[in-house]
Each structure stands twice: as C-alpha cells, then as structure tokens.
C-alpha cells in the first residue's frame, strides 16, 4: 500500500482527513504559531536549497526551470530516500507549504516526485 499525497497551505485549517502533516518549507511560515500549524513533521531537508528558493522567488515565469532544478536537487538528496522509507506505510500524507501561489510552489513538485517513489 502506498500513501496518498495531498498538498495544503499552512494557513488553512487542520482537518482530520489530512492524515500525517509534513511542513516542506525551509523556513517556518511567517506569523504561524507552531501549535496552530498542527504539523507532525517539519521536513525542511526536503525543501529547495536556500539558493534555489531565493532564485525562484515564486516567479511563475521561472516555474519550468525551477521544477527542473528542484527535481535535480531531490534526486541527489539523501533525505528523500529516508523520508520514503519512514513513511511508506502511511495511508495519507499532506505536504504543508506557506506560499501564496497554490500552483507554483515546491509542494506541487514534491508531491509529484514523491508519488512516483512510493509506487
């Protein structure tokens, strides 16, 4: 059995159907208290590097190149394999992110990337 992976903004309400909630931002979401975030794990090692994060700056014009660069980082990131091994038996994982843009953020890329690894 492989987990179903969803994504959700950090500022939205926590729901029971979220399952195991994993914050995938390198920095803690601005203005969000830890108890309000209701995350089970902060996997900042899965987030884009500081250099890539700053370069991208959530500019949709850079989206295609960001995806390519982030996937290359993930491919060479030992934290990815550890994450998959630790969570392969979970039923549902929700990747939590803080970006305002719901279509152009690292959680979108990570969701797709991890989905293939859990197959």
**Whether the predicted pLDDT of 35 surpasses 90:** no
Q: Express each pLDDT in 50-71 by its tens digit.
A: 999 999 999 999 999 999 999 9
Rounded distance between C-alpha atoms, residue 81 and residue 35, angstroms? 28
* Burial letters 31-65, b for 16+ CB under 10 A, else e: eeeeeebebbbbbeebbbeeebbeebeeeeeebee
Angle value at C-alpha 103, between 100 and 107, nearest 5 degrees: 80
**Whether the predicted pLDDT of 118 surpasses 90:** no
Angle value at C-alpha 70, between 69 and 75, nearest 5 degrees: 100
User: What percentage of the chain has pLDDT greater than the value 90?
Assistant: 92
pLDDT of res. 65: 98
* Number of domains into which the chain is organized: 1
**Confidence (pTM):** 0.95
Q: Which domain holds residue 40?
A: 4-117
63 Cβ partners below 8 Å, 6+ apart? 104
Rounded distance between C-alpha atoms, residue 96 and residue 8, angstroms? 5
Q: How confident is the model at residue 119 (pLDDT cuts 50, 70, 90)?
A: confident
Average pLDDT on 4-21 reads 95
45/12: higher pLDDT: 45
Contact 32, 103 (CB under 8 A): no
């Amino acid at each position: 059995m492989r987990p179903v992976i969803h994504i959700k903004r950090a500022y939205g309400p926590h729901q029971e159907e979220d399952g195991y909630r994993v914050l995938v931002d390198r920095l803690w979401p601005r203005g969000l208290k830890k108890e309000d975030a209701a995350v089970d794990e902060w996997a900042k090692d899965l987030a884009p590097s500081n250099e890539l994060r700053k370069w991208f700056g959530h500019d949709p014009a850079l989206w295609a190149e960001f995806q390519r660069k982030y996937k290359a980082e993930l491919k060479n990131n030992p934290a990815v394999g550890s994450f998959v091994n630790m969570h392969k038996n979970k039923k549902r994982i929700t990747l939590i992110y803080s970006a305002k843009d719901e279509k152009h953020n690292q959680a979108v890329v990570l969701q797709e990337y991890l989905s293939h690894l859990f197959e």
